[in-house]
Amino acid sequence: MTTPNTKMAVPDRAIASILFACSSLLVWRAWGHLHWDVLGRLGSLVPVPVREQLLFPESDLAIANHGLAIAALIWCVWSWRKEWWLPSVVATLFTALALFVAFFIDS
């Protein structure tokens, strides 16, 4: 007779979704720091081309923020299909926060 395997597998898809979501939030924080803090305090000292690039809504950091949030969504959906529900719920919470920040606060 074989005994059932009671050890749960590592929820790698949910972990990847959480990492992508946290990376998206970190990129959003970096973009926000450049956008509001640096330009708010040092707005007159920053050269005009640099200021325009930082204020441009589709800058590299904004694109990275959106891409990481979408990657988190893809991995989150995949984790719901393949893994246990608890890690998937945690991944969903992080992904929802990253998507909200990327697409509603950013715009």
- Token pair belonging to 59: 């800058």
Residue 65 included in any domain:
yes
Average confidence (pLDDT) over 14-43 = 85
Which segment of 7-11, 19-23, 101-105 scores lowest on mean pLDDT?
7-11
Quick check: 98 and 24 in contact, CB under 8 A? yes
Residue 51 has a pLDDT of 72
Total structural domains in the chain? Answer: 1
Residue 3 included in any domain:
no
Summarised one tens digit per residue, pLDDT across range 38-74 is 667 776 777 878 777 766 655 788 889 999 999 999 9
Residue 6 included in any domain:
no
Give residue 32's pLDDT band: very low, low, confident or very high (50, 70, 90).
confident
Mean pLDDT of the chain: 83
